[in-house]
Amino acid sequence: MRLLKSETGLFRLIELAGEKKALMIWAGIISTVSVLFLLIPFIAVYEVMAELLKHAADTKKIDSSLLITWALRGGLGMILGYFLMYIGGMLGHIAAFRILYGIRVRLADHLGDLPMGFFNKNATGKLKKIIELDVEKIEIFIAHQFPDLINTVVMLVLMIGFMFFLNIWFALASILPIVFGFFIQFSMMAGKKAHVGLKEYFDALEEINTSSVQYVKGMPAIKVFGQTVHSFRRFYQDMLNYQKFCVQYTDNFQNSYVSFRVVVLSLATFILPVGLFLLSGDPQNVAFAITLLFFLVIAPGVSTPIFKLNSFASSLNIIAEGVKRIDRIFAEKTIAEPQKGQKPTSFAIEFREVSFAYDAKESVEVLKKISFTAPPGQLTALVGPSGSGKSTIAQLLPRFWDVKEGSITIGGVDIREMKTKDLMDVLSFVFQDTFLFSDTLYNNILIGKPDATPEEVYAAARAAQCHNFIAELPQGYDTVIGEEGVYLSGGEEQRVSVARAILKNAPILILDEATAYADPENESQMQVALQELIKDKTVLIIAHRLTTICEANQIIVLREGKIDDMGSHRDLLSRNSLYQSMWQAYTTSEDWQIGELGKKEVPV
């Protein structure tokens, strides 16, 4: 993927705009021409007023056809100006929205290539905020600020030339305030004060994003435990913080913003004294008066476009900070993809001296020099207390993370030498946390093999014991999960995910056995479904209920990231103390009956 660009701020934004260079150039040219056309009405008014002034004493001499002509020219200029403004604006917006679309697609793509660890560290709310809001803000720069900046500068250069040609003093009087205004904007943009609180502002925004998602998702718990918005975590505090930083940030810009506004609004105040001064020396000179008029009339024509830049500095900084956060995601290292991928031809899994820690900086290793082989077509079970690393092993195989040391091979091929697509093609999973997309059940199963025929999908659903309950739903396979109050039970969801895996029919199956959903009908149906699924496959199963795996070809007992022992159920039961105690705990828990303990002590 792309590396982090070293540019930040304005230059990085211009770089982003450059992605649609042709559109941007046309947008700039057309909007500049439009601004010039929009000056025509002012020039027309000036021409009319000059004519009026020349013949103020004798109105009969006024050339009425000239005035009418100018009136029409002014109107036409205005219409053309707005028309071009629309065209230029549209080009700019098309460029902007395409660029945003491109950034979003690239971001999503990049996120897909990141190791799962990234998602454990970065809350969904925060990532969402970056992809939605921070990206959205770039539009303002590309579609508005950038063309505005260009056309203002072009217009100013032309105006300055023309003004100096007319009269240097008036020119100075109108230019200086504008230069001053620009100076304010850019000094604010670069100034230290502008960045004070900006980071906090963004952090605060990400914080409320995260806590609002939690607030909504954790609502059952919040209600049960009588939390209010004021007592819930730091949610209320986050909101107040956000407010505080917003106020602080805008306060920073208060004086410059107001000064800019007032100065640009009062061009006439600067021009008038110059005119009066010149006029007082030579009151008879109509030419002076006419020039004065020109400047007074044209002033609002000049200041209106400049005005668009009034919050240029403050919003540019906000946009740039957002882009920084976007770039930070792009800078995250993806899982490396090999140049030339190899494909395994056989499907034995081998772990060779594998060590792994979730956090590269952390010294706590979850797996310590693990070596084992899961032979093809056989069933290998992983057991061990929680935290022993059994789930981690299953997560390393699809490269959700990469090993720290050692290697994992499939059919002798290091999984890092395989293209992700090829790797995923040989693996299928049934996870503990099933995830169904809010799409039709049909499509949820189809994920297993996107080019499957309907017959194949139904067959997989039948094999996974889903067909019957799906057929009973109002819309059958076209039922969308979550709509019209249709939700599946945990067991049903799990069988859908089994159907996916059956459809995929990959040679290696990784089974995280929360699949043993305990209600009786599910249990027997799951058994049938899994029987179908594991046929002739290399199966790696993370087992919790030991009965599940009594008959596994090989059981690996893990303890604190190391292999404690491996063998068959019978062997382990006879020699391994950890396995014995787990078996003991298991049989005790199987016989548990609620109420035995509880009932006796119930006071009547």
Binding to other proteins (CB under 8 A) within 481-510 occurs at 482, 484-486, 489-492, 500, 504
Q: Per CB under 8 A, does 514 bind other proteins? A: yes
Tell me how far, at minimum, the Cβ of 302 lies from other proteins, in Å: 11
CA-based nearest residue to 147, from 261, 41, 33: 33
Tell me how far, at minimum, the Cβ of 439 lies from other proteins, in Å: 7
Tell me how far, at minimum, the Cβ of 63 lies from other proteins, in Å: 10
Binder of other proteins out of 25, 160, 550, 573 (CB under 8 A): 550
Residue with tokens 């010039």: 36
Q: Where are the alpha helices (DSSP H) in 218-266?
A: 219-224, 235-265
d(CA 99, CA 18): 9
Binding to other proteins (CB under 8 A) within 191-250 occurs at 208-231, 233, 235-236, 239-240, 242-243, 246-247, 250
Q: Which is nearer to other proteins, 141 or 429 (CB)?
A: 429
Binder of other proteins out of 108, 157, 179, 331 (CB under 8 A): 108
Q: Are 466 and 499 in contact (CB under 8 A)?
A: yes
Distances (CA, A) of 451 to 242, 294, 479: 48, 72, 20
Site map 46..75 versus other proteins, x via CB under 8 A: --xx--xx--xx-x--x-x--xx-xxx-xx
Burial class (CB in 10 A: 0-12, 13-18, 19+), 599: exposed
Q: Per CB under 8 A, does 480 bind other proteins? A: no
End-to-end Cα spacing for the chain: 69
Binder of other proteins out of 341, 398, 406, 567 (CB under 8 A): 398
Binder of other proteins out of 155, 189, 194, 289 (CB under 8 A): 289
What does residue 157 show for φ and ψ, rounded to 5 degrees? -60, -45
Binding to other proteins (CB under 8 A) within 158-187 occurs at none
Q: Which is nearer to other proteins, 187 or 231 (CB)?
A: 231
Q: Per CB under 8 A, does 537 bind other proteins? A: yes
Q: Per CB under 8 A, does 348 bind other proteins? A: no
Binder of other proteins out of 36, 78, 166, 172 (CB under 8 A): 78
Burial class (CB in 10 A: 0-12, 13-18, 19+), 146: buried
Tell me how far, at minimum, the Cβ of 93 lies from other proteins, in Å: 5
d(CA 191, CA 564): 62
Tell me how far, at minimum, the Cβ of 353 lies from other proteins, in Å: 25
Distances (CA, A) of 61 to 65, 66, 70, 103: 12, 12, 17, 64
Q: Which is nearer to other proteins, 140 or 166 (CB)?
A: 140
Tell me how far, at minimum, the Cβ of 351 lies from other proteins, in Å: 19
Q: Which is nearer to other proteins, 71 or 166 (CB)?
A: 71
d(CA 330, CA 4): 7
Tell me how far, at minimum, the Cβ of 204 lies from other proteins, in Å: 11
Interface with other proteins: number of residues (CB under 8 A): 208
- Tally the residues of the chain: 604
Q: Per CB under 8 A, does 435 bind other proteins? A: yes
Binder of other proteins out of 6, 192, 339, 603 (CB under 8 A): 603
Q: Which is nearer to other proteins, 266 or 373 (CB)?
A: 266
d(CA 517, CA 526): 8
Alpha-carbon torsion (111, 112, 113, 117), positive or negative: positive
Binding to other proteins (CB under 8 A) within 350-379 occurs at 375, 377-379
d(CA 336, CA 350): 20
Q: Where are the alpha helices (DSSP H) in 465-519?
A: 467-472, 490-504
